Structure 1
Amino acid sequence: MNPSSEKSYFDLHLTGLGYLNRIREVTPRKGDAFLACDIAALNGPSDSPEYRRFDVRVSGSEAQHLIRRCQQAVEAERKVLIGFRLGDLWADTFTYSKGKRAGEQGVSLKARLLFVSWIKVDGQLVYKAEPKAAEGTAHDGTPSVPEEATAQDASASETVTSETGDDAPVPAESF
């Protein structure tokens, strides 16, 4: 048994890419207000993907900053595609209160948005996270590109390069 009083956890993380929607501040009856959004994650073949909707709580100051920077673009109905990592996935059941499904049971997939690896607005790369020194480097020392950053979709297949021709992170303030 570990003599340390520090708890250990088993992490369950989900990585992918998806469209950002419904960015909002949530003020619960009990507890503190928090930032939330929906992600319509792409799943399946790239020529005919399906979408899985996640209702997420944005965790961490960096992720919150990046999602808030996207709010104006989302409200303007621009296509905001992000690479993401979610944690603490769980399903929440509810009953529809209005519409043609009123009275029926529904399921909402919920999670915490832990990390945003890149952001594209209308197909243009506007943010790319810096790779960590210990991970994310190829054998020749050059940064490797996250797998989800190489995924193609019809509206977001462009890559932004700097004036030197290198892929470079673009400051979040640019969008």
Structure 2
Amino acid sequence: MTQNTNTHFDLHITGFGFLNRIRKVQPSKGKPYWSVTVAALRGDESQKTYIDCSVVGTEAKALFDTHLSAIGENDVVTASFKLSDLYTDTFVYKKGPKQGQPGFSLKARLLQIRYLKVNGHVVFQAASQQNAPQQNAA
């Protein structure tokens, strides 16, 4: 009898939303990496849930290098995405009206981009998405 034991469980989130604060992080030690804040749309009224993400998927990294490295502050980027390993990160506000108060942010790893639109122009669409019905793209 073979017994399967899981040492790692995956939590994957698929969705559609806006990509904000696209930036290449240059740590003092280690390799540079892409980071982005995903404004995931949810609900009937397109409410937004903000998730800070490190881009870890190989194809996603290549898309960031190719299409998103020159994104400006006023550019509108929407994407269909797959995230993993969602968790909360707590912190204390250091300045502003909430100074000294606790806060939290959602964090995850961006694994995959399935559809990417920049300023109303589709710049990438995964092969499996080409025949799928279109989502309402903002």
Aligned equivalents of 2:123 and 2:25: distance in 1? 26
Summarize the alignment of residues 163-174 of structure 1 with structure 2, pairs less than 5 Å apart.
none
Normalised by the size of structure 2, how large is the TM-score? Answer: 0.84
Q: Percent identity?
A: 39
Aligned equivalents of 1:26 and 1:89: distance in 2? 20
Q: Are 1:61 and 2:45 an aligned pair?
A: no
Q: Number of residue pairs matched? A: 137
Larger Rg: 1 or 2? 1
Normalised by the size of structure 1, how large is the TM-score? Answer: 0.68
2:69 match: 71
- Root-mean-square deviation over aligned CA pairs: 2.6
Structure with more of its chain in strand, by fraction: 2
Letter of the aligned partner of 2:69 in structure 1?
Q
Aligned equivalents of 1:50 and 1:33: distance in 2? 32
1:164 match: none
Q: Runs ≥4 in structure 1, deviation > 3 angstroms?
A: 1-4, 27-33
1:26 match: 25
Structure number with greater CO (CA < 8 Å, separation at least 6) is 2
2:111 to 108, 111, 114: 114
SS class of match (1:65): helix
The runs of 5 or more residues in structure 2 that have no matched partner are none
1:125 match: 122
